[in-house]
Amino acid sequence: MKKILIIAIICASSLTRAVSQTQAPSSLRDCLKIALERSHSVAKAELETEKAEQKIKETLSSGLPQIEGQASVINNLRVPVTMMPGELVGASGVVPVAMGTKYTGEAYAQATQLLYSHDFWIGVKASKKAKELYKIQKARTVEEVIYQIAGAYYKWLRFGDQADALKDNIEKMEKVIKAQHGFTQQGLAHKLDENRLKVKLSNLNVSRNELLTAEATQLNLIKLYMGLRTTESLNLQKEPMGAEGLVLQPLLDEPDFSKRPDIRLLKKQFELKELEKQSIAAKYYPSLVAVGNLKTQAQREEFNIFGDRKWFSSSFVGIQLNIPIFDGMKKRAQSKQVKIEIEQLGHDLQFAGQSANVEIQNAKRQLRDAYQNVLAQKENLRLAEDVFTQTEARYKAQVASLTDLLNAEVTLRESQNSLYSQNLKLKEAGLDVLKAEGRLTTLVETP
């Protein structure tokens, strides 16, 4: 059962590679560009920005003319009664008089126009600032997507490099087994030694199959982050994973976290809170509104509202001045709350700056250490390859033992794995430096 599963995985991986080779290889930059167009996370962030644009229009709408209309037909089951002086009807004292008719029809239209409101203009400023806030949130989402894809891409490279290295090791081991088989046929070696080599070869094949599976899994993860379906082909372009071409000058630069989305987000929230405080203060100012009203009415004793009988119209225009006088100290309490929130944001901003500074320093230190480790592991691999080559030649010459050869192969494989592991750490450390400084988008901008 395990053999069938391994064969199926190899076939699927080979088929994926074959299909992918029919399209032009995609570099990391190409993948990031596709992700910015198709990523679900980026699309949601873009929708939030569009929603903020509509919020601005909603705020501006309160400064435009407001027109409303209403029509009604009322059946007065009991006509309203009003107390009137009896002299009007030839009686003494105060008498009840029914005012109105059984049926009443009414329609009116009213228009208002805001002439002055200090709070209105502050609301407009706040809504525009909110749009900028959503743009920063989108930038943060973009950086998160870039970080995810780049990290997955470097892991994909590592698994591919390890699989290629094991393929070379397998070919070397097959040559050794072929030579060992000749020794066995000639009676110069035991069959046991040949079987030990075959076990080693089988283990190498299993390890390579596991790496191919991990490589295919990582490719599907990249597709997910990019917004692609797993059925869509993606031919990734390989790039060197070593320290060649690495520029270490940024390690000497002063920490700069002004471009970090989280810092920019806090600053924008600080600005919005300041506007909120101004908005509360603006509610102490009066507001001025122009009003116009047109009304028509019909009164009937029978239900013939829309008959030929006359409707009576009325209209008025005016200016309404709204003056806030006393609200039970409500606005004062609201203003104090906002002041406290501004102080809290100040502490958050200060702590975020300190944390960003520590994050940048740590990321640069990790990058520097990873660079030195890659150079050291690269030299170790060169020595391990030399030891294996010489041990292999000595073994074929019947000078070195099989144990020496197997130990040399284990050392070679460990050196390879260590180098690929350090290469990945180097790439991840570079990503962390870009993330800490808010410069991940340079991976898309730089060709």
Per-residue pLDDT tens digits for 379-392:
999 999 999 999 98
Rounded mean pLDDT of 165-173?
90
Q: How are beta strands 81-85 and 287-300 bridged, if at all?
A: unpaired
Sign (positive or negative) of CA dihedral 395, 399, 405, 411:
negative
Pick from 8-17, 231-240, 330-339, 386-395: least confident: 8-17
Structural contact between residues 173 and 197, judged by C-beta atoms closer than 8 angstroms: yes
> In terms of CATH architecture, what is 30-63+117-285+324-439?
Up-down Bundle (1.20)
Tokens of 135: 């743009």
Tens digits of per-residue pLDDT, 191-243?
A: 888 888 889 899 999 999 999 999 999 999 999 999 999 888 899 988 877 66
Q: What residue ranges of the chain are covered by domains with CATH 1.20.1600.10?
A: 30-63+117-285+324-439
pTM, whole model, 2 decimals? 0.80
d(CA 1, CA 8): 11
Cβ burial of 82 (10 Å; 0-12, 13-18, 19+) is exposed
